[in-house]
Amino acid sequence: HVQLVESGGGSVQAGGSLRLSCAASGYTYNRNCMAWFRQAPGKDRKGDARIATGSGNTYYADSVKGRFTISQDNAKNTMYLQLASLKPEDTAMYYCAAVSRGYCITAWADRRGYGYWGQGTQVTVS
């Protein structure tokens, strides 16, 4: 079965950086679509960035453009999110997500487009 495991969260001061990782198993990694979402307490889960795992094509939410970078290591079936210039409003649980249909959808930031989710990793910015 598909398993997504996030790591790399933690507590940092404003302006700091973190790198999140998402290791995928049981998933056809090289011909699919994955994304990073965040969810702050009491708020909806929203997409920050997505990557087409075959082409490497990426999209970002406006709020993170220029600060976050999504990348991958196909040999390791692992996706990353480099977070830089962190702000207190970036504090949230960060989730990795993967589609179950084999391609990226236009509404990539809609959580309903993803069939697989990791357990989340907490990022706290003070």
CA distance linking residue 3 with residue 46, whole number of Å = 21
Q: For 115, which DSSP code?
A: S
* Residues making up the chain, counted from first to last: 126
Hey, is 23 helix, strand or coil?
strand
Torsion of CA 52, 125, 44, 102, to 10 degrees: 10
CA distance linking residue 82 with residue 28, whole number of Å = 23
CB atoms within 10 A of CB 65: 12
One pLDDT digit (tens) per residue for the chain, 126 residues: 899 999 999 999 999 999 999 999 988 877 789 999 999 999 999 999 999 999 999 999 999 999 999 999 999 999 999 999 999 999 999 999 999 888 888 899 999 999 999 999 999 999
